[in-house]
Amino acid sequence: MSASPIVGIDLGTTYSLVAVLQNGAPAVIPNALGELLTPSAVSLATDGLVLVGAPARARATTHPARTALAFKRDMGTDRKYTLGDRTFTPPELSALVLSSLKKDAEAALGMPIEEAVITVPAYFGDLQRQATRAAGAIAGLKVERIINEPTAAALAYGLHERKRELRAIVLDLGGGTFDVTVLQIMEGVIEIQASAGDARLGGEDFDTALAQQVAARINKAHGVEIQHMPLAWARLRGAAELAKHRLTDAERTRIVLPDLDAGGRTIQVDEPIDRAEAEEVWADLLERIRAPTVRALRDAGLAVRDVDEVLLVGGSTRMPCVSHLAAQLFGRLPLRKLPPDEAVAQGAAVQAALKEGRAEVEDMVVTDVVPFSMGVEMANRFGERVVGDLFAPILERGTIIPASRERVFSTMADNQPAIDIHVYQGEHSQCSKNQKLATYRLGSLPPMPAGRIAIAVRFTYDQNGILEIDLNMDQLKRKESFVVLQRPGVLSEAEVSAAREAMAKLKLHPRDALPNATLLARGDALFVELTGAAREQLGHALAKFRAALDQQQTELIEEVRTLLTAIIAMHRSSQQ
């Protein structure tokens, strides 16, 4: 292993992981708590300390206004998150998670980490990919390679199956996104043949749908609008997530919220939920898995019978309804040969090893495809009428990358002085229904009749999702080019530098104190849910632990931590 290894990072909507290739196999690195999954959560304490990971996620039910979750969904947008008296962009929040993973890797490996391969959903567009790269830069990571999540999962799978020849489909349902990828493995070569997905579909949506179902019952029974009460809604949503997890193994469960503060009124919530009812609530979400799957098969030119194996990736594929749907679509049981939560991070570690030129993976090759069509806006003349807003694809989705394609356009009017090149990404025939990436003005054109100036527009797209556009006018002996980089929602180099400086000034919670902060946050979150003697017992243990921390009594801290951990585990298991 080199002095400074390249790590693989799965930057997830709900959880994130960091992995590295060790002894020829990818290994996920545990965080400061000894856990493999680090929640993608950031919370600002009242004393100004920034909490990242498990303690931040635990505070989501007790301090929702000071906690940010699922911000990956807003990467590439100009949304701002206000936590207390501070404002963060999605790349800045993601950078805090990446920085936490970087420190964990450095502590585990005993060496600095400077470079990473980061995964993104296959259906992430160019805006989100550039925002992810910016997040890495803010965290102090060199991110030369962005890889699609299902491609990473295929790499992890292919590492173990490289001697086989087969065609597989990967269904990757995580906390916030769904991807489907068709691939072929032949003698260590993993060829991605098609990708599709839904960048706004994941486990978070299943949690929300279940919470809304229970909220409707509460509203009917008590005449209160839980959705408009941040603390009550945060508790209900957290309970719905736990219920979803329980319904993985159980046929029925209950959502119990004692002493729920509903706008000044205290109400008692005890609602039964069974798996059949939950799956009915989720029917529309499950149907959204079907369409991208069918589209990916069609783009690959395959029928269901051509698929040898169906691979499930992502924590949300543990839901029985997802595996049932996969079995229904393909007529066979899907496989989970790798841990669903870890497969993407493991594949990112394999890609990192490929980038390092490690001998263990020297016989592996992976190709990927363009997930979206990319092109420019054009207009056509029909008689006396000119119709604009027409999308002219130059790089079609499914094109193997790196790729370079060209189309020729010409001026529409006599003596046209300039042409605005509007770059779009999407599949709709109208540009206004697609995602705009950039605009570039080609000015100072000589006066000539309409159609006499031809512009060859070439799109070149690399493995990291960087789009370079060349404009060539042979008759004018003129060439211009630009790279699609800086757009709304994506930070410029100056903004990245400023964000790094701002993050350096943040009072981050010390890594070595994270276990104590996490235990307190989890205890506080559970205290809200308990009543009676159980609550009194937990409250006493929490108070004793805080007193020990204040007095810095090491032996007492260890003693009370053990007691508090046992109490939390006991009452949490009784809830489940």
Catalytic residue annotation? 10, 72, 149, 172
Name the 3-class secondary structure at 410: strand
> Looking at 449-544, which runs of residues are DSSP E strands?
454-461, 467-473, 478-484, 507-508
In angstroms, the CA 505 to CA 50 distance is 11
Nearest residue to 369 (alpha-carbon basis) of 187, 179, 118: 179
Structure tokens at 226: 């839980």
Q: What 8-state DSSP symbol labels residue 304? A: G
Distances (CA, A) of 408 to 368, 392, 457: 26, 11, 6
Bridge-based pairing state of the strands 435-442 and 419-425 = antiparallel
Structure tokens at 455: 């512009």
Q: Where are the alpha helices (DSSP H) in 301-402?
A: 320-330, 343-356
DSSP letter for each residue of 144-162? EEEEEHHHHHHHHHHHHHT
32-63 per-residue burial string, b: 16 or more CB within 10 A, e: under 16: bbebbbbbbbbbbbeeebbbbbbbbbbbbbbb
- On the question of a cis peptide bond just before residue 402, with omega within 30 degrees of 0, the verdict is yes
Taking a C-beta distance cutoff of 8 angstroms, is the pair 472, 409 a contact? no
In three-state form (DSSP H/G/I as H, E/B as E, the rest C), the secondary structure along 410-452 is: ECCCCCCCCEEEEEEECCCCEHHHCEEEEEEEECCCCCCCCCC
Number of helices and strands (H, E) in the chain? Answer: 14, 28
Structure tokens at 58: 């635990």
Q: What length is written for the chain?
A: 576
Taking a C-beta distance cutoff of 8 angstroms, is the pair 451, 498 a contact? no
In angstroms, the CA 137 to CA 132 distance is 9
Which residues have C-beta within 8 Å of that of residue 194, sequence separation ≥ 6?
Answer: 181, 182, 296, 297, 299, 300, 369, 398
Which run of H or of E encompasses 290? helix 283-300
Taking a C-beta distance cutoff of 8 angstroms, is the pair 49, 505 a contact? no
In angstroms, the CA 348 to CA 490 distance is 23
Cα-flanking dihedrals φ and ψ of residue 540, to 5°? -65, -45
